[in-house]
Amino acid sequence: MGVGFYSPDETWPKSEIRYFEERAMGGMGLILTPFVRVHGSLASIPIIGMYDDTFIPTHEEFVKRVPQARREDLHADRPHWRKTRERRPSAVYSENYVVKPRELTTGELEMLVESFIKAAARARKAGYDGVELHGAHTYLVGAMMSPALNKRTDKYGGSFEKRMRFPKEIVDGIHSEVPGYPVGFKFSAHEQIEGGVDIPLGIEIAKYMHKAGVVYLHVASTASTIEVFSKLPSVPPLYIPRNPRSTG
């Protein structure tokens, strides 16, 4: 659950901890946190930080007060609708971006892989029972897997295996850095953008990440900025028919 109670310094705000305490009182067995940022340089809006050891105490407090929050959602960037130039897998025009983004360099992607791994290690130290790698809604991990948004020609783009290299390196690195630590994987099985991930490709992604050793798959749908126009919204509102994704 992402509720938007963010602190300027990206620590857990008291209001959000209290919100999740109330949810836990209702008998929840497990709570997955809102996504946390793994690297400060990609900050576009405040969320929850986990890119430095100084964030660990605030996460320890969260886990202590909300013991059902046993999975932390690891995330790099959050595309937004302001007219600023983001850093993305490829410099391509897309209905999913407000403006044409700048392509991340190979070195920047390698640095981000390490950032995810270090954030997972901090999550373990803070007391979370596991982490979830957020690869849905064409955030960075999702965009790296998307044939519509990843047009790279280096080791992180081209074939299916190369597009999957980024999430696999993260999962492999977490397994190496924190042996036995559970890693789940969230991804969009249907992006609803031309040339993007569709159901057959989504199935291949699921098989690939299962083989990579994730302990569960969290299946979502849609790209990010077109989500409000999607026939298959990631969070279906009350005023549309039930089970909208079951007929997609």
Eight-class DSSP state of 125: H
Compute, in degrees rounded to 10, the torsion defined by CA atoms 33, 38, 40, 46: -10
Collapsing DSSP to helix, strand or coil, 202 comes out as helix
**Which tokens sit at 199?**
């159901």
Half-sphere exposure of 149 (CA within 13 A, CB side): 28
Query: Catalytic residue at 139?
Result: yes
CA distances, 139 to each of 65, 67, 68 (Å)? 29, 28, 26
Given 6, 51, 97, 139, the catalytic residue: 139
Structure token pair of residue 26 = 């209702």
Which of 83, 5, 89, 80 shows the shortest CA–CA distance to 45?
80
DSSP label of 196: S
Residues noted as catalytic: 139
